[in-house]
Structure 1
Amino acid sequence: MDITPAIQDHLEERLGKIVTDLEGMIDVHAILSVEKYRHKAEITVKGKGVTFHSEDETKDLYGAIDSTVEKLDKQLKKHRDKIKEKRPKHGATIKDLPIQ
């Protein structure tokens, strides 16, 4: 399948919104395929110790790209929330603790 400039621009635009927020992401790999009436999009994002993968298949290639990116965005948000929960809360320091 040949990738048209319009498809490439759409993919870069959709991925650009979520990938720019990520720190340390090393590689983004997208596979687009068409089999008769099935359009499939697979996207893998690799970073420091983490890999996110999403894929979807629809009747429209643009729809497949959009839904795949949405699934990937949900995974990334879940990962960010998980990291935030593990960080120590600001405001409490050792100096503030009562001495016994």
Structure 2
Amino acid sequence: MNLTISGHHLEVTPALRNYVTTKLDRITRHFDQVVNIQVLLTVEKQKEKERRQRAECKIHVKGGDMFAESAHHDLYAALDELVDKLDRQVGKHKTRMQDHHHEAPKRVM
């Protein structure tokens, strides 16, 4: 799995990088066919009162791509919301990928 964490108007500290990797471990535990994860953390520099922290994530898995984004006043809360959204998407993708067709019962004569 390839993990890329980048920041826009933000320095990605080791503590922040560690927090993101521990949160994304939950997704890789549920679905092991994750190929690539790209995380973008941004701070929108508007007025000081309306300062918003955004987290975006693109996941490339076997069979498709997923994208989620979240915004909050606290970056850690935005990351928590983001991982919850991605976990739901990965769960749906996993159930779609499973074969739900059963073999027909054999007829007894």
TM-score by length of 2: 0.77
Query: Alignment partner of 2:35: what SS?
Result: strand
Paired residue for 2:26? 17
Larger mean CA deviation between 12-21 and 36-45 belongs to 12-21
**8 Å contact from structure 2 (residues 53, 74) kept in 1:** yes
Match of 2:78 in 1: 64
Task: Indicate the SS of the match to 1:66.
Answer: helix
1:12-66 Cα offsets, whole Å, 9 max, x none, are 0000111233233210000000013100000111022310110011100000111
- Structure number with the higher strand fraction is 2
Larger fraction in helix: 1
Equivalent position to 2:61, from 36, 41, 47: 47
Q: Which amino acid aligns with 2:63?
A: G
Structure 2 residue aligned with 1:29, among 15, 38, 46? Answer: 38
> SS of the counterpart of 2:30?
coil
Q: How many residues align?
A: 95
Percent sequence identity over aligned pairs: 28
Higher relative contact order (CA 8 A, sep 6+): 2
